[in-house]
Homo-oligomer: A and B are copies of this chain.
Amino acid sequence: MGDIINGKILAEDFKQKIKAQIDEAVSKGYRVPCLATIVVGNDGGSIYYANNQKKLCDKLGLKNRSIFLEETIDEKDLILLIKELNEDNTVDGIMLQVPLPKNLNEEEITNLISPYKDVDGLTDFNNGKFYKGKKAFVPCTPRSVMHLIKSTGMDISGKNAVVIGRSNIVGKPVTQLLLNENATVTVCHSRTKDLKSVCKNADILVVAMGKPKFIDDSYIKEGAVVIDVGTSSVDGKICGDVDFDKVINIASHLTPVPGGVGSVTTTLLIKNTCEAWEKNVY
C-alpha cells in the first residue's frame, strides 16, 4: 500500500512561510504584496478561482484587487486596464483569468501583461525564457506537480518519467521541469501506441489526460510516484484520471483528487506574487 501525497499539507507549509514573510514585512513598515485578479464575463471556473485567490490573500495578509468585468467590455478598455496595472507600483502580480470571452483576442491581451507581474506565466516572453531553462514565472499547475514529486523525497535525476498529455498548461511545462531535474522524459498523448507498456516503465508518472479513472494498476510500475492532474466532474464529484483504489496498491506514492495537485496551485500563485513583490520592495 503506497503513501498518499497530501497536497493540503504541502500547501499549508507554503502558506505558513508566506504569512511569516508578510508579517515580518509589516513589522518593518513595508507595504504588503498586492495581486490584481481580472475576471471577464461569467465563466464559473474563473469566478471560483478569483474568489479563492481573494480568500487566500486575505488570510495571508496580501492585498487583492478583484476586478470583475462585463463580457461585453470593449477590448480597448481591457487593454487600458492592463497597462494601468503594469504601471501601478503598488500592484505586484496580475492574474488574468482565462479563457476570455471569444470576442476578445486572448493571445494579444495576455501578452500585454508585464513579464515581471505575469505571476501565472501566461506571456510568450516568460514562456520563451522558461523553455530556454532560464528563470521565469512558470504556470502554477506544473509547479505544483514538481513540488508534490519532490515532497516524496525521491531523487528525480536519471529516473524515467512519463507525462501523459502535451498541453501548454500542463504536459509541456511539466516535461521541461522534469528535464531540468535530469529525468529522462517521455511525452505521451492520444496518438501514442501501446501507452500501457510505456507507462509500465515509468518511475514517475504524471497523468493529465482528462479521462476519469482511465489509469489503473495495469499501467503502473511497482513503486512508482504517480501524480494525477485530471479533474473531471463525474456525478457531481471531482474525479482524477487515476483509479485511486487500484493504483494505491502498487504505487509508492499517489496524489488524490481532490486534495492533490489542485490544493497547491493557488498557494503557488500567491508565492509567485510574493516573489515579484520582493524584487519591488527589497
Contact = CB atoms under 8 A, between A and B. Distances in A.
Contacts of A279: none
A184 interface: yes
A134 B245 CA distance: 39
A259 interface: no
Contacts of A172: 131, 176, 179
A86 to B, nearest CB: 17
Given A124-B132, A125-B125, 17 more contacts: A124-B124, A124-B125, A126-B128, A127-B128, A127-B131, A127-B132, A128-B128, A128-B129, A131-B131, A131-B168, A133-B168, A158-B191, A172-B176, A184-B188, A184-B189, A184-B193, A186-B186
A192 interface: yes
Contacts of A129: 124, 127-128
Contact of A187 (B131, B133, B179): B179
Interface residues of A, number: 32
Given A124-B132, A127-B128, A189 B193 contact: no
Contacts of A198: 184
A186 B189 contact: no
Nearest to A125: B124
A280 interface: no
Contacts of A175: 175, 187
Interface string A150-186: 0000000110100000101000100110010010111
Give how many copies assemble into the complex: 2
Nearest to A123: B128
A137 B212 CA distance: 37
A169 to B, nearest CB: 10
A188 B184 CA distance: 5
Nearest to A180: B166
A158 to B, nearest CB: 5
A133 B187 CA distance: 15
A182 B186 contact: no
B128 A158 contact: no
A157 B129 CA distance: 29
Interface in A97-134: 107, 123-129, 131-134
B184 A185 contact: no
A261 to B, nearest CB: 21
A157 B189 CA distance: 11
Contacts of A186: 184-187
Contacts of A193: 158, 160, 184
Nearest to A160: B193
